[in-house]
Amino acid sequence: MLRSRATAQRASRFTRASRLCTLQESLLLKVLGVVLIAASVVSAHPCRAQTIDLATLKCKEFIDLSKETIATLTVWLDGYYTDEEDAAVFEPDKLKIKAEKLSAFCAQNPKIGLMTAAESVMAK
């Protein structure tokens, strides 16, 4: 009887230690994930960061930008032309349609300013 009680106590300690290790491993993985994300943000290509004056940007220059920059500007323009009374809802399908319309409009009117083009395409 003493032997089985001692065995049960050792097993209980082992289970608690095992749970503690699992929690520590889980915490370590979360911390590692946060560190990796932070490192990727910090090491993101700062040389690629740019300031774009949308008031002077022409449609030709807009369609010559990278797809990533076009997507970023389209999201910004959509927010710019959204009324305060509109619901704060992100609708990727509608945004994609607006981006396609804006790109098509700019391709047909390369000398027009981007803000003028966006107003005709995105404003309500």
The CATH code belonging to domain 48-122 is 1.10.890.10
Cβ atoms 55, 113 nearer than 8 A = yes
Domain boundaries, the chain: 2-44, 48-122
Element (H, E) at 78: helix 67-80
Residue 43 Cα distances to 38, 66, 67, 75, angstroms:
8, 20, 21, 24
pLDDT digits 0-9 by tens, 27-59: 545 554 554 454 444 444 444 567 888 899 999
- Comparison of pLDDT for 49 and 70, the residue scoring more: 70
Integer Cα distance of 65 and 60 in angstroms: 9
pLDDT score, position 117: 95
Per the confidence metrics, is the pTM higher than 0.85?
no
